[in-house]
Amino acid sequence: MRFAEARGFKVAVVYNDTGGDPPALRKYVYDVLEEVKRAGHAVYVTRPERTFFDYLLAEYSPPRWNFRWCCKRLKELPFKRLAEELARERPVLNLLGTRAEEARWRGWFLKRISGRLVYAAPLYDLTGEEAWELLRELRPDVYERLRQIYGGARRMGCWFCPLIKDVTEPQLMKLKLEVYNAWCSGRRERILDLAKERPDLIQVTVDASAVRRDFPCGRKCGVCQVAKVRAELAKTVVKIPTFNPFLRGVALAEAKHSTDNSTVLNQV
């Protein structure tokens, strides 16, 4: 920010609130946004048109490595709408914290979206260890707080991501396992019940009549990445729900086998 201010840029910070950040991280982000406001900078918070669980219940199967509909629906499209709106007023340089080692589709440093909108990834060529070390040197207070929240993990995605088995909070791990056990076994009404029990974590606006009862994924459980993550989660959570015989079989079999004036937008 100091670099941008020194050159006369107007700085704004954007938080893409997907509803998926673990509660401790989400609270910390909003605390930081308040500090940004007090420093005199603009703050924008984007949110998706529908929640993750709305999409999961009414439209899609759980995200997979080759079908990450959640990234586009929850984060990319809401931010794109904001960025294009701001770009109508002035040129916009959007700085993202993505790095090349995270995924092959993030292997770019500069991307021109239009004549007035450019995306840049200044941390593009840093490793995860280098990014943490840089934060420790520049802001040791932030480094220590995030280390506590991350619980030793290098990266942290949405708590409900079915492709991540490393969740630092045991309660979130159990809740995620129950969500996908319910979806994959066809017991979608259980997710509606969980939304009533944990409205702070599971937001649902669709009613029961809008819930799909089929399996858009084709139910190829034997090769499904989500099924494998569920099995790994089950070994950590220990208690495997009895209504999901497939998961129980996978987990027990594996147990037996083995005894991540322009406006400068900083996205957070």
Taking the domains of the chain in order of start, what are their residue ranges?
2-150+262-267, 170-257
CA atoms of 140 and 137, how far apart (whole Å): 6
What pLDDT band is residue 97 in, cutting at 50, 70 and 90? confident
Instruction: Assess contact for 12 and 39: CB atoms under 8 A.
Output: no
Instruction: Assess contact for 173 and 236: CB atoms under 8 A.
Output: yes
What pLDDT band is residue 167 in, cutting at 50, 70 and 90? low
- Structure confidence at residue 243 (pLDDT): 38
What pLDDT band is residue 206 in, cutting at 50, 70 and 90? very high
- Structure confidence at residue 233 (pLDDT): 81
Six token digits for residue 242: 């009895």
Phi then psi for residue 250, to 5 deg, are -65, -45
- Structure confidence at residue 266 (pLDDT): 58
Residue with tokens 């007090």, as numbered in its chain: 38
Taking the mean position of all CA atoms in its chain, how far away is CA 50? 15
Helix 225-237 to helix 245-257 angle, to the nearest 10 degrees? 70
- Structure confidence at residue 111 (pLDDT): 85
Cβ neighbours of 153 (radius 10 Å): 15
- Structure confidence at residue 264 (pLDDT): 53
- Structure confidence at residue 260 (pLDDT): 39
Q: What is the mean pLDDT of the chain?
A: 84
- Structure confidence at residue 203 (pLDDT): 95
- Structure confidence at residue 226 (pLDDT): 85
CA atoms of 113 and 117, how far apart (whole Å): 5
| Fold observed for domain 2-150+262-267 | Rossmann fold (3.40.50)
CA atoms of 50 and 157, how far apart (whole Å): 19
Phi then psi for residue 7, to 5 deg, are -105, 15
Helix 225-237 to helix 170-184 angle, to the nearest 10 degrees? 130
- Structure confidence at residue 193 (pLDDT): 96
Nearest residue to 92 (alpha-carbon basis) of 114, 76, 123, 74? 114
Average pLDDT on 171-195 reads 93
**Residue 151 above 50 pLDDT?**
yes
CA angle 70, 74, 80 (to 5 degrees): 120
Residue with tokens 């080692």, as numbered in its chain: 101
Least trusted range by pLDDT, from 15-19, 131-135, 239-243: 239-243
| Ramachandran sector of residue 120 (left: φ over 0; alpha: ψ -120 to 50; beta: rest) | beta
H or E element that contains 93: strand 92-95
Residue with tokens 């984060």, as numbered in its chain: 75
Most confidently predicted of 61-65, 124-128, 202-206: 202-206
Average pLDDT on 226-238 reads 79
